[in-house]
Structure 1
Amino acid sequence: MFPLGSVLFPFMPLQLRVFEERYLTMLSHILELDPAEFGVVLIERGQEVGGGEQRFSTGTVAQIIELDTDEGFVTLVAVGERRVVVGEWLAEDPYPAATVRELPELQWDAALESLRDDAELVVRRTLALAAEYSLQQWPPDLVLSEDPVAAVWQLAGISPLGPIDQIALLRAETAEQLLTDLIEFTIAAEEALNITWPDEEV
């Protein structure tokens, strides 16, 4: 398990620069497996370097698709595959490990097309607005997957939300709930970006 300061969604890429000895050891074990996979969970409190952090229980299994080594560290690219919930954290010997159960995959209903269109409009509009204030990881015109479930997760992944909103989306039980919450959270983010601060008096 990789506890990180960000949420990984299914069908979204993850790039990591691994340098801690315990995680390098973990990678050597992962790469013996086929497919080479690991879990990602969001850190609730603490930091990812050095251990001792508290973690959220809902996470995502990531599959390694690229790997590059350099002196003292490894760079990898993985992609989110499926959601899991931690049942029990195991002794860290020497890296974080847990027993997990998989969450059901979201099922798509063609009746959700209009809701998905609304979510895409809000997410792209807010991404464009956010780009006016800071450099964003994802462009507003990013091309989404043709698979509807993958596209919904990708919309959640690119929306400029904080990790608490993201973990709530990751826990969605249905595609409808995911889209409804995504619209609500993204509109709130958009409204926060649109706040005009009054001029300070001199």
Structure 2
Amino acid sequence: MSTAGQPMFPLQSALLPGEVLPLRIFEPRYSQLVRDCLAMDDPAFGVVLITRGREVGGGDVRSDVGALAHIVEYADHGLGQYQLNTVVGERIRIDEWLPDDPYPRAAARPWPDEPGPPVTAELIGEVIDRILALFERIVSSRGAQLRPDALAVEPEIADDPSRHIYALASRVPMGQADRYALLAAPTLAERVEVLTDALETVAAMVEFQIAEEE
């Protein structure tokens, strides 16, 4: 991050490491953000959840935990219009929001998982079983069958408990508040607890919706 601050892109959603974020850029200040990022060795900008209000027009309230979105592909369509493909990477913590110049900027630092109780393969297996049970309930209510590879991940992700939990969580249809709570959990063990609680909430909502449809 330069002394000018980390370029930031506030959003209406909480993004998790490992997710893909396509963007179409046309607003002048964010076109400048893209140009500045593309001049970096590692073109990336921070993404954070807007917790209240809207970014356009000011007055929004932004979360203090986010992640870096790395630009992996882009197309320059001219007149300040860009098509971006980004991959969400490492988590960051916002220490201070800086004045927009012209786009949002922040003093930000990497925030890796803090030390905590170990998350074993058995515990991840229990999370997978819970998600599969939820998915099975959803698809069976529609007269369909769950694909055997519904929660398959790449081997390098399966071998990394932190990345694996993020990958599993990204497939659960939870609300933005739960997604943010999961992102902001200090330790991996706490993140598993947040995900487990979110799964219970989603499962209850699913049962309610199924009962309404019957």
Aligned to 2:4: none
In the alignment, the residues of structure 2 paired with residue 81 and residue 156 of structure 1 have an alpha-carbon distance, to the nearest angstrom, of 15
Residue 146 of structure 1: which of 158, 168, 172 is its match?
158
Matches within 5 A, 1:1-202: 1-70=8-77, 73-105=81-113, 112-127=120-135, 129=137, 141-144=150-153, 145-148=157-160, 149-195=162-208, 196-197=211-212
Equivalent position amino acid for 1:64 in 2: I
Percent identity of the aligned residues? 32
> Cα 1:124–1:54, aligned 2, differ >3 Å: closer, same or farther?
same
- What is the SS of the residue equivalent to 1:93? coil
What does the per-residue CA deviation read over 1:59-88, in whole Å, with 9 as the maximum and x for residues that have no partner? 001111111233553221111211111111
In the alignment, the residues of structure 2 paired with residue 50 and residue 143 of structure 1 have an alpha-carbon distance, to the nearest angstrom, of 41
In the alignment, the residues of structure 1 paired with residue 57 and residue 136 of structure 2 have an alpha-carbon distance, to the nearest angstrom, of 37
What does the per-residue CA deviation read over 1:48-67, in whole Å, with 9 as the maximum and x for residues that have no partner? 44443211111001111111
Which segments of 5 or more consecutive residues in structure 1 lack a partner in the other structure?
Answer: 134-138
- What is the SS of the residue equivalent to 2:194? helix
In the alignment, the residues of structure 1 paired with residue 176 and residue 152 of structure 2 have an alpha-carbon distance, to the nearest angstrom, of 23
Equivalent position amino acid for 1:70 in 2: H
- What is the SS of the residue equivalent to 1:41? strand
Contact 2:128/2:151 (8 A) holds in 1: no
Aligned to 1:136: none
Equivalent position amino acid for 1:18 in 2: I
> Cα 1:111–1:167, aligned 2, differ >3 Å: closer, same or farther?
closer
In the alignment, the residues of structure 2 paired with residue 94 and residue 192 of structure 1 have an alpha-carbon distance, to the nearest angstrom, of 42
Note the C-alpha offset of 1:111.
5.5
> Cα 1:175–1:189, aligned 2, differ >3 Å: closer, same or farther?
same
Contact 1:127/1:160 (8 A) holds in 2: no
Contact 2:51/2:61 (8 A) holds in 1: yes
Which segments of 5 or more consecutive residues in structure 2 lack a partner in the other structure?
Answer: 1-7, 143-147
Contact 1:82/1:105 (8 A) holds in 2: no
In the alignment, the residues of structure 2 paired with residue 37 and residue 97 of structure 1 have an alpha-carbon distance, to the nearest angstrom, of 13
Bigger shift: residues 56-65 or 145-154: 145-154
TM-score normalized with structure 2 length: 0.80
- What is the SS of the residue equivalent to 2:94? strand
- What is the SS of the residue equivalent to 1:68? strand
Task: Report the aligned-residue RMSD.
Answer: 2.5
> Cα 1:147–1:77, aligned 2, differ >3 Å: closer, same or farther?
farther
